[in-house]
Structure 1
Amino acid sequence: MPTSALNPAPEVSMATPQHPAFGSSALRQRRSSHSSHSSHSSHSSYAARHPDRVPPKAASPNRAFLAVIGILVLVLLQTFAGLWLFVKGFLLTRHELLGANNCTRPADSAWTLPAPPAAFDDAALLKWAETLDPQTGMGECRLKPTHSKAVVIVIDALRYDFIAPPPPAGSVSDRVEDAWKPNPHYHSVLTLPAQLTAQHGSPVHAKRPGPAGFLAHFAADPPTTTLQRLKGLTAGTLPTFFEAGANFGSAGTGVGRVHEDTWIAQLRASILAQRGADARAGLVFAGDDTWATVLPGLFDNDTMWTYDSFNVEDLDTVDRGVESRLLPFLQPQHADRKAGVHDHWRLLVGHTLGVDHVGHRFGASHEKMATKLGEMQRFVQNVTDAMDDDTLLVVLGDHGMDEHGDHGGDGELEVGAGIWMYAKSGFGYTARGGKMDAAEYISTPELEALLPSRIAFSPLPSPPYGAHRSIQQIDVVPTLALLLGVGVPYSNLGSVVPELFAHPDTLLRALRIMATQMRTYLAAYAAQSPDLAAFRSELDARWLAAVRADAELAAALHGRAAQADVETLWRKAAQAYHAFNRVSLVSARSVWAQFDQVRIGLGLLVLVLGLASAWVLRSGARTGLIGRLDADTADGDVMVERASSGAEELGRVVYAAVRTPALVGAATGAAAATATQLVLAGLANLTLLDGLLAGSAVGSQLGLLLSASGANLRRSIRTRESDSVAVPTTTRVLDAAGWIVLLLHAGSFASNSLLIFEDRFVLLASAVLLLLRGAFAVGAASTQRQQVRLGLMAVVALLLVRAASMPRVCREEQAAHCTSTFFAGTAALNSPYVMVASYAAAFALPRVVAWFLAQSRSYVGVAPMFFTWALRPALMLGAGYWVLDWAVALDAVQASGEAARVEWVKGWVAVLALGLPGVAGVFWVFAPLCLEIRREAAAEGEEKTKVTILGYSNSLGSSYVLLVGAVFAVLFLVTQPAGQLALAAVLVAALAAVELGDAERDRVVLHRQRTETPAGAVHLSAAEIASLALLGYIGLFGTGHQATLASIQWRVAFLTSPTVSYPLSPVLVALNSFGAVSLLPPLLVVLAVVWNATPLPRGSGRKMATPSVMLHALLTLALYNALLLTTSAALAGTLFSRHLMLFKVWTPRFMLAATVALLAQAAAIAAALAGWHTANKVNTIFGTEFA
């Protein structure tokens, strides 16, 4: 705000003694060290002689701000306690059973069903079923292997349409509007799987032993992150949503390790049982180092080569390593083949990463994708050429990718991987009719409704493709186990691929083995958890139906029935066992996360009480809380019951209110947790730490709420009545509007559709608040100049908010109602035009911020130097990094041989762009205030020379905005160019909103002057704080994010290094994902508090209420975030806990709310610390006191 009657620039006359608070620099007098010392002595003598003329030393603001920090820490700890309890109850990992399938019975190719039971009643059938169990009877646990060796090639992010056969020529509509055109970057590039499958036919149609292939859509279970998919591919288990966070685990940490049985463990055990425990198993691995995390110790140590999996900039190293390590095992004439090393292998596993990294780096529709898929074509060709008849080849994707190369969620393109299984010796003869499809043979209409065997896939045309053969990703586990002649993993929930078990008798035996093991696992799981209790009757009925069909087949076989009848019963039994397997899988999926209702309830209780406590603390910051405080009397200091005045006293009242209840609560919680372990089985999982956190949090909250009742409540009512007179009607309306927006934002979480389009709601709500604030500001302005200025501020803020929301990444559910604009086209590339605009914004933004400072004549002192030599270079380096990132991938740069040098320069640019704001932050700590002393010659007839202190009226705000700029520069670097433009728009809009807020507070001051209302602290309205919070969310969405895992921009983890570096890489990803919504709002709120808050000079006899105003504002922001968190937690953990979209919509939004609540509260503490430091500077220079 410009200097005005409310914010005057002080004038100091040269004829009057200079106040020592201004220091010798005020008069710019040049003295020797001696004269300076003499001056100091002279001043001391003067003070001693005239104590009435020299104001006493100003009181330090430390105690007041320390109380602010303490209260904010209390709120953070209570929020953390509530989240700890809720998350442990809601986002549990799936209960792991550590049993293993102890399959010791050898395979018997002549095995047949035992004699049927004498009677076919339920009891007799279940008794007869025990004879089919390999542990209790004579049943099978393995089949004779079709192949003794296997090669498994995992092509990371291999989407189904990357290997699917193209539509036949002339089968696609000729109409232009209907025509489907293949994407030249990934369609018909990796063609070998489709070619060999078409050439040799599927195994179910084989007339004689010979090459056979099977190609299908490979449906992955979300979350589609590599670590979780490898668990499914090896153990056949279902993941939980929360396990996605383990993807940042590393080998040796134990994070993400599979503790359950796997087909690789079964194969290793089978080999070592024959060769001896000390022998080499012949299990070889090369590729993604995630395998070392998931399956440590299963591959032979001397034939396991791992490569860094997170370096998305490196497209070739892992792929080259896989080829060079595996091909010597297959090619007898390979130059690197060594006797004793490359002989006698049983399993080769290779995991390439180039396709995935191209997707992350450039998107799917990029020429480098065609290059990489071509390389995979040659690699697979080399494998097929070299493999012998006794080898089974499996080429598969662990997950797919969307058009931007992202994955992690459950979108069609993310879960749509591809699989190809191939053997030169085929998979045996078939006894089915040539027209009988294998999937159709074992399926029924009911099962097709549950898990269809054929699905549509949008990247491929329909017609001619009505549907594509699809299998569940975990189906590969029992399939590989049985084809290799080993037991099915204990916890497997997948089913066999029927096409690979050609004969109906072999297929039935495979389904029976699988169903028996699955029933064993489900029975053990039911003994550990009640999750499946609701499905027990249905599963029992399905099992009994399968056993009955099997008994009927046994009766037919032993009764020498006609072959046609036997074949009919073969199919009936196969359908029954398949139905049991599939219904079991669907049932388990519906309860894939078990909820601990006790922890969920305790967590919600702490979060709800935390809302009430934060409200009480916020009210205390505004009006004070009644407690026992000292009072000066004639008899000395005594303790009396009175309302706190200022932040320091509020801190003492709060400490007294929560100290004892927190300790008592902690002791009670610990005792309760210990007792429940011994007495109440339902609460047996409540640990001692849970009890301590719950008890101390609830105790402190109840202590605070009880102390705030009674007299405090009555006083609060009276204060609200007086406030209605102390503030104008427009301020009350703005307060109400702010709370209404907050309630609507939280309430929108109850609607699936509104939650999906949260980005549009945030834009609308922000625009409405800014429009309302602008209209009130213009209407209340006292001059035409103010009307024009404030009106322009509001319009500029509205336009910038709209501009900041233009860069957008659409989530899958928004479908046709959204167009992604964050990247250039469909690829994950940044537009050159956007990069040019970002570079221009980086150059201009410091000047725009300087303009806001110039309005209060605060762009003086160190400010010009800071903006010119720190902020602008940091921003331009941040924009330049992404220009280099774009340039290094150009064909011209690659062909010139300068790519490595450009990469090196890019890395150092990122280091400098991070280092410069760090240096600027250190400079800010020790820098003086943004002040300048300006002399003005005396007017004619005057003897005194005037000295004006420029920047005085906004000395708090001008200093603080330098820190905001340094933090903003870091966020600018970690954001891609379109997001950089959005962040720049958000920052300028926020400064305009802060100016509107300053005008709103001026209006309150003028209202009090007109109504002769007693002066008091002027607090930020709820609308102003809500506007800043919503700007944070606009920044979140404008930087290319949504409340989905797929929108995480992993590539920023490699800004400063080509490999993952801890802890910097996760920090960079966190800043990119949450910086705009977690760091900026608290900083902007504190900036709004100190903006144009004119310091009260030494000797004024008054104290500034800045600490209390700051605490009130930050607690209002905390309430905003806490209400969103509590609402999302309550809806996800209770009302929608069994909703179909729980893990797709509500769980990611809860995780976002939880992260934002914690990070924003931590940032609020840091922002308050920075405000404290700024206040100390003002206290030192001007002698301003704070309370």
Structure 2
Amino acid sequence: MPWQTWLPTKHALAALVLSWVLFVHSAGLFLFTRGFLLTRLSLEDLSTCPASGSPCTLPPQHQKAVILIIDALRFDFISPHPPSPPSPNFHHVLTLPAELTAAHPDRSFLFQAFADPPTTTLQRIKGITTGSLPTFIDMGSNFGGTQISEDSLITQLRRAGKNIALLGDDTWMGAYPTSFYPNATHPFDSFNVEDLHTVDEGVIRYLFPLLENKSEPWDVIIGHFLGVDHVGHRFMPEHPVMKSKLMQMNRVLKRVVDSLDDDTLLVLLGDHGMDARGDHGGDAYLETASALWIYSKRGLSRAPIASALGVTPFTVFQGAAVPARLVQQIDLVPTLSLLLGLPIPFNNLGSVIPELFSTGQDTLSEALRINTEQVWNYLRAYRSSASGGELDSVWDALSISAKDAQGSVRAQVAFMRQALETCREMWAQFNVVRMVVGLSVLALSIPTLCIVYLALGEERGRWEDVGKSVIIKGTAGALTGGMAGFGLHVFSLEYLESLSGADLAISGAAIVSELVVILSHISPARSAISSLSSQSLTRSLLPALILILHALAFTSNSFTIWEDRIVPYFFITLLTPVLFSAFSAPTAHLRRRLLYFAGLAGVCARAMSVNTVCREEQQPQCHVTFFSTSVLPFIAPLAYFIPVAVRRFLAISKSDKGIAPFFLNAFWRTMLVGGAAYWLVEWTEGAMGADAPSQGNVWVWGLRLLRTGVARVILGSTLVGGYVLWWNAPLCVELRMETPDKPTKDAPEAKKIVVLGFANTYGSSYLLFVLVFFALLFTVTPPTGQVALATALVTILAYLEVVDSQRDVAALEQSFSMASPSEALDLNLESESQPRSMTFSEPAAIALLSILTFFSTGHQATISSIQWKTAFVGFSTLTYPFAPVLVAMNTFGPLFFVTLAVPLFAMWNVSPIPKGRVSVLADTMTLALGTMLYWTTIGVGSAGSAALLRRHLMVWKIFAPRFMLGGVALVVVDVALLVAVGVGSLRVSAKVKKMFGTEV
């Protein structure tokens, strides 16, 4: 039965094969991720005071509290001894805390507070209200977080009948939607980083009437300012507008202090810090070094008891000279609870800050006793929970420490710190069985892809048979394996008890499907290897070696950190054999082409690698270039001349005809210039009125309106107009009627029809498809990244010419080896019966170039490198679902763009055969599977390293983020290839078939 009876088109078959690979990858990633990135078990218990027995709190020292959070307030922003040399923009600007601490040491305490990573706002709100620890994966809930259900300071305040006023960041409403006093609740949008003032002005507008009107029925005010954080995200700390914002906060604090009565406690803190670029989210030192200042007019200390105990640690801020008192940010929870006369929240792991209970030895001892009992009660409850087995290995040591804590203050502090560090390590928790199963699925996909890749190359003329076999047998294997896996769950085998029925069904379906496909295609894969020429085999060994080295590099934290420097060398290494082989090319023309285009690709790759952001671990050997404003004068001319460069490449094959001139010179150029104009207007707005109030500067308002309108027009026109134009446009060919220069006697006026661009009919049309997405990505990429994208496009085009020249060399060498001239004349490399010189170089180069483009557009395998400001391209406020889509496009768009170009390497300079058949789709599938093979192998390398080194000191800082990047990138690549084959290649083939009758 022919395959056409059950599949409508060959492209549908190709898409199904790629979808099957996507399923296998998704299954492996799902299982491994569920085992590797687990969330902490939150206990629902509440701390309550017993009717009799030891008290669970202290008499309140204050009846009210004002808690002011300046988002991203780093410790050195308020420290009297900042790093040297101090910055004029954020050092010695917010001075009131240091001044009052120096003037009244009994009323005021200044601390550097360690904020547990991930340093995102919702996770830090959880920390400073519950006293518990976040887990790495919790970071994702910062966008659309769920209600906090565990015991917290907010819960205890409500249980005590206290009224809580909330002003500012609306993230608090998602965490505690029903906990705040209705008449004193004024939340504001938290993610509009474009707006530096609205939230702060709103907090100020409602804060002082509450403070100054003594009849207002509030007990606790929470005011969360966002301006400092937004300045950091948009302009970085080293910008004059940061000084203006901190000066505003200093004025607010002075007014708050003047408004306080003796019975009100003032707490000022930063929920986290910010790095040198103003970002946060990870665990870098500057991100976790937050500020904490506590002040009371009544006084907080009568004697330096805490210092005498020798239990108060100090630290020296990075670059400073004078040590500062160090606390854990979660220490604020038990401290505030007892100062306000409340029970400590049940899940708390923080320790009371001794200085604030130094009114006497008995007070401090009682505070530590209550704190110690609360932590021990929590640990015992956790031990009896479903996750209690995590404590087995450390329970004896904790029990001994808890028993010793009954003897002295020093032992109590030591026990609580031991409990905190134990839980920090414990919640790097792993389901090893699930990890092994997920990693097995991913690892097994490597030989699966390799065998199918080789089989497709061997059966180039009958690739549909291979594809049909993969789909039928893979589906049958998935159904069989899924049922078998669910059957194992029914029997409840002991060693599989940590896997759910869904886990077993998914893993069984993926593994059995892979094994069936491997066993079914071993023979053609062996034939493909044996039929490779020595030259092709040699060319395939180098990229295979590079792939192995790339995957093994993730076992080293140093190599993982410096991957952005390794990748360009790998790519250039792939080009080196081309340069050497160019000297042995059979013609001078081919020698020049190989040398020129290989050299151009290498130079462009090297230039791209100069454009980078730096990880914290790369300092001081790395220098940030991505945020340079020196490229601003050049991005508009660059956008104007990129179409010229593309047309020059098309002109080589005379493919700059038909729709190409209009598309490149009119439509595409307009979109690129508009994308550049957006960022120029954005920069101008910041330079002219960044520190102006949000509604007080007409110029700023006008510029913001202009850039929002420009972005919307460009994105909308590109997305809709670009793809509609490409879908309906004719091919990039031109038909001409020409008269021979020397007409013959028999045909003096004979004329012929010449098709210009015929040689590259497929490639030129598909290139326009790629360029539409390039224009979208260009608009959501900052200026320096736009330069990198343009360079990446030139690199792709140059490497296309290299690959085409190598095929010409192979064709000529093959013709020279023919037994007779007639055989050479009959040779047709586009015929399906004539296999191309198949190597792994092209897929490896595509994968490496996509990774290089990712790094050179300002990204790293770190959370803090995410360019959040792109969420506002085309929008003045955070708008769902567009904001996350724009950020995702900016982050993973470079990978998608380069991968989308895969079919070009099968189509470039491939002529249609009128009424015949060419193997464009077969070659596209081979290249697609080869690209997937590269990404799968390095994905397994990063996942395996994260699993093996899961107790490594740097697992959450280096290995886990790289695995997460690799996992998402693997899915992005799979989807890009599906789009490339199911949309781009499909439409191009249909156009060519309609015009020339050529099948694929």
- The aligned counterpart of 1:458 is 318
- The aligned counterpart of 1:448 is none
- The aligned counterpart of 2:61 is 146
Distance (whole Å) between structure 2 residues aligned to residue 61 and residue 981 of structure 1:
43
* Matching of residue 915 in structure 1 with residue 724 in structure 2: no
Deviations 1:736-794 (A, max 9, x none): 11111111111100111111100110111112112322332x22433223322321112
- The aligned counterpart of 1:246 is 141
Q: Once the 2 structures are TM-superposed, how far is the Cα of residue 896 of structure 1 from its aligned partner?
A: 6.9
- The aligned counterpart of 1:198 is 102
Q: Once the 2 structures are TM-superposed, how far is the Cα of residue 684 of structure 1 from its aligned partner?
A: 4.5
- The aligned counterpart of 2:356 is 500
* Matching of residue 773 in structure 1 with residue 582 in structure 2: no
- The aligned counterpart of 1:576 is 411
Query: Aligned with 1:1085: secondary structure?
Result: coil
Distance (whole Å) between structure 2 residues aligned to residue 940 and residue 401 of structure 1:
76
Question: In the alignment, residue 145 of structure 1 is paired with which amino acid?
Answer: P
Q: Is the 8 A contact 2:108 2:300 kept in 1?
A: no
Distance (whole Å) between structure 2 residues aligned to residue 652 and residue 767 of structure 1:
37
Query: Which residue of 680, 699, 720 maps to 1:898?
Result: 699
* Matching of residue 924 in structure 1 with residue 726 in structure 2: yes
Q: Is the 8 A contact 2:61 2:340 kept in 1?
A: yes
Distance (whole Å) between structure 1 residues aligned to residue 697 and residue 354 of structure 2:
52
Q: Once the 2 structures are TM-superposed, how far is the Cα of residue 1019 of structure 1 from its aligned partner?
A: 5.4
- The aligned counterpart of 1:1069 is 887
Distance (whole Å) between structure 2 residues aligned to residue 388 and residue 693 of structure 1:
63
Question: In the alignment, residue 1003 of structure 1 is paired with which amino acid?
Answer: V
* Matching of residue 70 in structure 1 with residue 16 in structure 2: yes
Give me the TM-score of the superposition, normalised by structure 2.
0.95
Query: Aligned with 1:214: secondary structure?
Result: strand
Query: Which residue of 641, 650, 653 maps to 2:466?
Result: 650
Aligned 1:1059-1098 pairs, distance under 5 A: 1059-1077=877-895, 1079-1098=896-915
Q: Is the 8 A contact 1:474 1:494 kept in 2?
A: yes
Q: Is the 8 A contact 2:586 2:812 kept in 1?
A: no
Q: Once the 2 structures are TM-superposed, how far is the Cα of residue 685 of structure 1 from its aligned partner?
A: 4.8
Query: Aligned with 1:890: secondary structure?
Result: helix
- The aligned counterpart of 2:755 is 949
Distance (whole Å) between structure 2 residues aligned to residue 352 and residue 997 of structure 1:
56
Q: Is the 8 A contact 1:60 1:1176 kept in 2?
A: no
Deviations 1:885-940 (A, max 9, x none): 00002237969731111110100111122123211111111111111012222333
Deviations 1:369-412 (A, max 9, x none): 01111111111111111111110000000000112111111111
Q: Once the 2 structures are TM-superposed, how far is the Cα of residue 104 of structure 1 from its aligned partner?
A: 4.6
Query: Aligned with 2:759: secondary structure?
Result: coil
* Matching of residue 533 in structure 1 with residue 368 in structure 2: no
Query: Aligned with 1:845: secondary structure?
Result: helix
Aligned 1:344-355 pairs, distance under 5 A: 344-355=217-228
Query: Aligned with 2:65: secondary structure?
Result: strand
- The aligned counterpart of 2:857 is 1039
- The aligned counterpart of 2:339 is 483
- The aligned counterpart of 1:742 is 547
Q: Once the 2 structures are TM-superposed, how far is the Cα of residue 442 of structure 1 from its aligned partner?
A: 4.9
Query: Aligned with 2:265: secondary structure?
Result: strand
Question: In the alignment, residue 699 of structure 1 is paired with which amino acid?
Answer: V
Deviations 1:106-145 (A, max 9, x none): xxxxxxxxxxxxxxxxxxxxxxxxxxxxxxx722210111
Which deviates further from its counterpart, 891-900 or 1040-1049? 891-900
Q: Once the 2 structures are TM-superposed, how far is the Cα of residue 195 of structure 1 from its aligned partner?
A: 0.7
Distance (whole Å) between structure 2 residues aligned to residue 987 and residue 810 of structure 1:
24
Query: Which residue of 201, 206, 230 maps to 1:325?
Result: 206
Distance (whole Å) between structure 2 residues aligned to residue 940 and residue 993 of structure 1:
39
Q: Is the 8 A contact 1:1019 1:1109 kept in 2?
A: no
- The aligned counterpart of 1:1027 is 845
Q: Is the 8 A contact 2:626 2:785 kept in 1?
A: yes
* Matching of residue 806 in structure 1 with residue 610 in structure 2: yes
Question: In the alignment, residue 507 of structure 2 is paired with which amino acid?
Answer: A
Give me the TM-score of the superposition, normalised by structure 1.
0.80
- The aligned counterpart of 1:1123 is 937
Query: Aligned with 2:348: secondary structure?
Result: coil
Structure 2: gaps spanning 5 or more residues: 820-826, 828-832
Q: Once the 2 structures are TM-superposed, how far is the Cα of residue 1095 of structure 1 from its aligned partner?
A: 1.1
Q: Is the 8 A contact 1:1019 1:1113 kept in 2?
A: no
Deviations 1:310-349 (A, max 9, x none): 100100110011111221111139xxxxxxxx62211100
Question: In the alignment, residue 923 of structure 2 is paired with which amino acid?
Answer: V
Give the root-mean-square deviation of aligned CA atoms: 2.0
Aligned 1:548-697 pairs, distance under 5 A: 549=407, 573-624=408-459, 645-676=461-492, 680=494, 683-697=496-510
Structure 1: gaps spanning 5 or more residues: 1-57, 106-136, 168-178, 204-211, 250-254, 272-280, 334-341, 444-451, 550-572, 625-643, 825-830
- The aligned counterpart of 1:722 is 531
Distance (whole Å) between structure 1 residues aligned to residue 342 and residue 711 of structure 2:
52
Residues 492 and 1110 of structure 1: CA distance in aligned 2, closer, same or farther (over 3 Å): same
Q: Once the 2 structures are TM-superposed, how far is the Cα of residue 1179 of structure 1 from its aligned partner?
A: 1.1
Q: Once the 2 structures are TM-superposed, how far is the Cα of residue 499 of structure 1 from its aligned partner?
A: 0.6
Deviations 1:674-728 (A, max 9, x none): 443xx64x6445333323211211221122123234xx2xx4334322222xxx6
- The aligned counterpart of 1:543 is 402
Q: Is the 8 A contact 1:774 1:996 kept in 2?
A: no
Q: Once the 2 structures are TM-superposed, how far is the Cα of residue 268 of structure 1 from its aligned partner?
A: 1.1
Residues 1036 and 655 of structure 1: CA distance in aligned 2, closer, same or farther (over 3 Å): closer
Q: Is the 8 A contact 1:65 1:648 kept in 2?
A: no
Question: In the alignment, residue 328 of structure 1 is paired with which amino acid?
Answer: P
Question: In the alignment, residue 288 of structure 1 is paired with which amino acid?
Answer: D
- The aligned counterpart of 2:767 is 961
Aligned 1:272-287 pairs, distance under 5 A: 281-287=162-168
Q: Is the 8 A contact 1:646 1:1105 kept in 2?
A: no
Query: Aligned with 1:1018: secondary structure?
Result: coil
Distance (whole Å) between structure 1 residues aligned to residue 803 and residue 847 of structure 2:
14
- The aligned counterpart of 2:556 is 751
Query: Aligned with 2:467: secondary structure?
Result: helix
Question: In the alignment, residue 283 of structure 1 is paired with which amino acid?
Answer: I
Distance (whole Å) between structure 2 residues aligned to residue 1055 and residue 160 of structure 1:
32
Q: Is the 8 A contact 2:578 2:594 kept in 1?
A: no
- The aligned counterpart of 1:1006 is 812
Distance (whole Å) between structure 1 residues aligned to residue 796 and residue 838 of structure 2:
14
- Percent identity between matched residues is 39
Deviations 1:450-489 (A, max 9, x none): xx82111124x32xx1x21111111001101111101111
Distance (whole Å) between structure 2 residues aligned to residue 722 and residue 959 of structure 1:
33
* Matching of residue 81 in structure 1 with residue 10 in structure 2: no
* Matching of residue 364 in structure 1 with residue 237 in structure 2: yes
Which deviates further from its counterpart, 391-400 or 1171-1180? 1171-1180
Larger radius of gyration: 1
Q: Is the 8 A contact 2:674 2:714 kept in 1?
A: yes
Q: Is the 8 A contact 1:1001 1:1020 kept in 2?
A: no
Q: Once the 2 structures are TM-superposed, how far is the Cα of residue 439 of structure 1 from its aligned partner?
A: 4.7
Deviations 1:584-634 (A, max 9, x none): 10111112232111211111111112222212221221124xxxxxxxxxx
- The aligned counterpart of 2:379 is 522
Q: Once the 2 structures are TM-superposed, how far is the Cα of residue 248 of structure 1 from its aligned partner?
A: 1.5
Distance (whole Å) between structure 2 residues aligned to residue 282 and residue 538 of structure 1:
42
Q: Is the 8 A contact 1:81 1:697 kept in 2?
A: yes
Q: Once the 2 structures are TM-superposed, how far is the Cα of residue 1006 of structure 1 from its aligned partner?
A: 2.5
Runs of 4 or more off by more than 4 Å in structure 1? 58-62, 682-685, 892-896
* Matching of residue 96 in structure 1 with residue 42 in structure 2: yes
Q: Once the 2 structures are TM-superposed, how far is the Cα of residue 531 of structure 1 from its aligned partner?
A: 1.6
Deviations 1:1053-1112 (A, max 9, x none): 0111121212211111111111112x12322211111111111111x4xx2122221111
Residues 142 and 768 of structure 1: CA distance in aligned 2, closer, same or farther (over 3 Å): same
Distance (whole Å) between structure 1 residues aligned to residue 580 and residue 882 of structure 2:
45
Aligned 1:75-474 pairs, distance under 5 A: 75-105=21-51, 138-166=53-81, 180-201=84-105, 203=106, 212-249=107-144, 255-271=145-161, 281-332=162-213, 343-430=216-303, 434=304, 438-439=306-307, 441-443=309-311, 453-459=313-319, 461-462=320-321, 465=322, 467-474=323-330
Q: Once the 2 structures are TM-superposed, how far is the Cα of residue 839 of structure 1 from its aligned partner?
A: 1.7
Q: Once the 2 structures are TM-superposed, how far is the Cα of residue 61 of structure 1 from its aligned partner?
A: 11
Q: Is the 8 A contact 1:218 1:472 kept in 2?
A: yes
Question: In the alignment, residue 708 of structure 1 is paired with which amino acid?
Answer: H
